[in-house]
Amino acid sequence: MGFIADIQKKYKTVSIVGMAKNAGKTTALNYLLEEAYDEGLRMGVTSTGRDGETSDLVFETDKPKVYLFEDTIVTVPEQLFGLAETSLEILKRTTCRTALGQVLLCRVARSGYVQIAGPGSIMEHKKLCGQMFDQGIDMIIIDGAIDRKSIADPATSDAIILSTGAVISRRIKNVVEETVHVVSVYNSPLVEDETLRGILEQEDKEVFRILTVDKDYNVSQVPVRTALGAGPIVNDAIDEDTRFVFIPGAITERILDHISPAKLKQVTIVLPNPTKVFVGATRWQQLKKMGLHVQVLENIKVAAVTVNPFSPHGYSFDRDELLNAVQEALPGLPVVDVRVGGLDL
């Protein structure tokens, strides 16, 4: 049984998330779609941005195109519909709009290359996925655009496939460290305190409120409107009885650096999910050693990691050296180079 058939039994919606542009995400997508076709799975494909174009719009380099097999369900904005190198049947004009026009829900009538795109909104993607499943598909792959790790949000995806590679750094050691860091953060411990969970799950997700919660579960709002520059104010809001600090937005080095080491050790930082963490591997480890505790209301399942030994900046790694290094650092997790031998479980 192939990898895609194995994960389809566990997850119905999977996002391919690139740690950076040119990490091999499109290559991984094409491999998975080919394997799904061989397994007889009917797939749905959408994207958080635009993918399938022949050249990289950022680096102006050639990039792999997205090849979709017959009967695949795909989202294509109006302006990209005529650029498909095959026949598409329009099933529905959705209410989702992008900079490239209204999103069309299409069926691939004949296998070929298609430029895919979808909305950036998590909620719109959730709605689109529901409409795609209504067409009788087995699984959806969401292709994440550049630095759109937020599409891994558990509100949209059951799990992710993380794409990493040489583009991260010229040193394999750094690539491995950053990759392990992301996987570790995505597996952050869940909030087990049911009283605390009950309080935070009642929060309006559309309203930004940083909260402190004391030992008796008394809740106070920190007087800030955004996380930008909030560090000193959060620090002042933590008193000797504070046990938890809930931050609904991004948690950055800037915020954490303004919280005193003693207070940082005293409290647990609570986040909606791990996509809110924007702290590099080295600094994260330093903060953890200082006593940083982080819990999340929802974490993210990582189904596999794909590696790309080539960088568009003109350097590359030995394939086996990179693959083996990441495999050794992530035991128990499938780590593969889809250009070489595919996913062998």
In the chain, % of residues over pLDDT 70 = 90
Residues 240 and 315 in one domain: no
Task: Answer whether residue 281 is part of any domain.
Answer: yes
Read off the tokens for 172: 């394999």
Residue 287's CB is within 10 A of a number of other CB atoms, namely 20
Residues 66 and 125 in one domain: yes
- 229's CB contacts (< 8 A; 6+ apart) are 254
Q: Give CA separation, 310 vs 135, 158, 166, in Å.
A: 38, 29, 6
Q: How far apart are alpha carbons 144 and 114 in whole angstroms?
A: 16
Q: Which domain holds residue 228?
A: 194-296
Q: How far apart are alpha carbons 35 and 37 in whole angstroms?
A: 5
Q: How far apart are alpha carbons 307 and 179 in whole angstroms?
A: 10
Residues 280 and 311 in one domain: no
More confident residue, 157 or 93: 93
More confident residue, 263 or 99: 263
Nearest to 296 by CA among 153, 148, 115: 153
Residue that has been written with the tokens 């794909």 in this structure: 306
In the chain, % of residues over pLDDT 90 = 68
Residues 136 and 41 in one domain: yes
pLDDT digits (tens, 9 = 90+) for 29-86: 998 999 999 999 999 999 886 554 444 444 444 456 899 999 999 999 999 999 999 9
User: Which of the four pLDDT bands, split at 50, 70 and 90, describes residue 343?
Assistant: very low
pLDDT digits (tens, 9 = 90+) for 269-323: 999 999 889 999 999 999 999 999 999 999 889 999 999 998 888 899 999 999 9
Residues 228 and 85 in one domain: no
**Side chain identity, residue 59:** F
Given a contact cutoff of 8 angstroms between Cβ atoms, the answer to whether 270 and 292 are in contact is no
**Side chain identity, residue 142:** I
Residues 78 and 164 in one domain: yes
Residues 210 and 173 in one domain: no
pTM: 0.84
β-bridge pairing 277-278 and 251-252: parallel
Task: Answer whether residue 342 is part of any domain.
Answer: no
Q: What is the pLDDT of residue 110?
A: 96
Task: Answer whether residue 176 is part of any domain.
Answer: yes
β-bridge pairing 116-117 and 50-51: antiparallel
Residues 75 and 120 in one domain: yes
Provide the 3-class DSSP secondary structure of residue 138: coil
- 2's CB contacts (< 8 A; 6+ apart) are 35, 38, 39, 342, 343
Residues 168 and 314 in one domain: yes
- Mean pLDDT for the stretch of residues 225-246: 93
Q: How far apart are alpha carbons 149 and 40 in whole angstroms?
A: 29
Given a contact cutoff of 8 angstroms between Cβ atoms, the answer to whether 29 and 144 are in contact is no
Read off the tokens for 220: 């106070």
Residues 49 and 173 in one domain: yes
User: Which of the four pLDDT bands, split at 50, 70 and 90, describes residue 1?
Assistant: low
Given a contact cutoff of 8 angstroms between Cβ atoms, the answer to whether 171 and 286 are in contact is no
- Based on the structure, what is the number of domains in the chain? 2
